[in-house]
Amino acid sequence: MDIKLVSVSEEHYGKRVDVVLASLLNNTRAQVQKMIKDGDVTLNGASVKASYRIEGKEEFKVVMREKEALDLTPYDLELDVRYEDEYLLVVNKQAGLVVHPSFGHNNQTLVHALLARGDKYSDVNGVFRPGIVHRIDKDTSGLLIVCKNNEVHNKIAKLLQKHEITRRYTALVRGKLREEAGLIKTYLTRSKDNYQKMENTPATGKLAISHFKVKERYKGYMLLEVELETGRTHQIRAHLEFIGTPIVGDKLYGKKKDPLYSAGQLLHASYLAFMHPYTGKFVEVSAPLPSYFTQVLHRLQKDL
């Protein structure tokens, strides 16, 4: 453990303290946010929030603890593989499972479970993300493509960039919409007030487009099918909050505790389809809703 006094000049005026300290300390923003949460960053003897705005000429006291090393020890976890050939596989990820190791999620991720299978995977995105060409959130369940070599990884990445992979999600949301179907278009970037969230910022955000259809209506809730046209971070979660129908159980974009279900967001990547970049065959994969999801739907159906 080491203690550093970090002086911040006026050139950083108005910036968030987690952003500035991450740059000055050569750490990731997630690492600095954890340090702040753990009380390891103080100003004049008092703890600060990650959203604190720099005024200039502050001196922060920072407790530097030993960094947690990333671990790639295989994790023996049975995976629900819905499609596999010599080039790639499509896995149905369970909710609560992080996709790849990172600060704060050092082990027992999907990557660790993939390594336990003994296969070789692409390393385009680094040694700690073998095979991972796209991802879904920890509390989102459903389908994910995993690549077995760099060549197929790059080809799948191009299909994603060209929007040539159909990705459909099933979401249970709170609220009502008049439309039976529609398009959501925003420009997403990190929220200035909460770095964990994405928000619509037309001046600086990246274009994000989602298409939705109403599959079922309940009292105060709806079951939606959402198809991605783009694939931004938290896109579906942010988009559904944007139109006033947040996903049930989503504590970041919805209510802190939904009376219907609060053990995780009811969002499931249910369908993937694409032309295989090597075989030229049409690959179509689906995954049924998890049992906890269907149980909630059965409760809603009884109230109709």
Active centre residues (catalytic): 137
For 89, which DSSP code? Answer: E
Please provide the CATH number assigned to the domain covering 70-162. 3.30.2350.10
Hey, which CATH number is domain 163-304, 3.30.2350.10, 3.20.20.140, 1.10.3720.10, 3.40.50.920?
Answer: 3.30.2350.10
DSSP letter for each residue of 263-302: SS--EEEEEEEEE-TTT-PEEEEE-PPPHHHHHHHHHHHH
Please provide residue 299's backbone torsions phi and psi, each rounded to the nearest 5 degrees: -65, -40
State the alpha helices, DSSP H only, in the chain: 17-25, 29-37, 110-115, 150-161, 235-242, 291-302
* Per-residue pLDDT of the chain in tens (304 residues, 90 and over written 9): 688 899 998 889 999 999 999 888 877 788 888 889 888 999 998 989 989 999 988 999 999 876 656 778 999 999 999 999 999 999 999 999 999 987 667 789 999 999 999 999 999 988 889 999 999 999 999 999 999 999 999 999 999 999 999 999 999 999 999 999 999 999 999 887 777 899 999 988 999 999 999 999 999 999 999 999 999 999 999 999 999 999 999 999 997 788 888 888 999 999 999 999 999 999 999 999 999 999 999 999 987 6
The reply to whether 70-162 shares the fold of 2-64 is no
Q: Where are the domains of the chain?
A: 2-64, 70-162, 163-304
pLDDT at position 68 is 58
- Please provide the CATH number assigned to the domain covering 2-64: 3.10.290.10
Distance CA 202, CA 207 (A): 8
Give the rounded distance of the alpha carbon of 249 from its chain centre.
15
pLDDT at 262: 82
Task: For residue 224, give the 3-state DSSP assignment.
Answer: strand
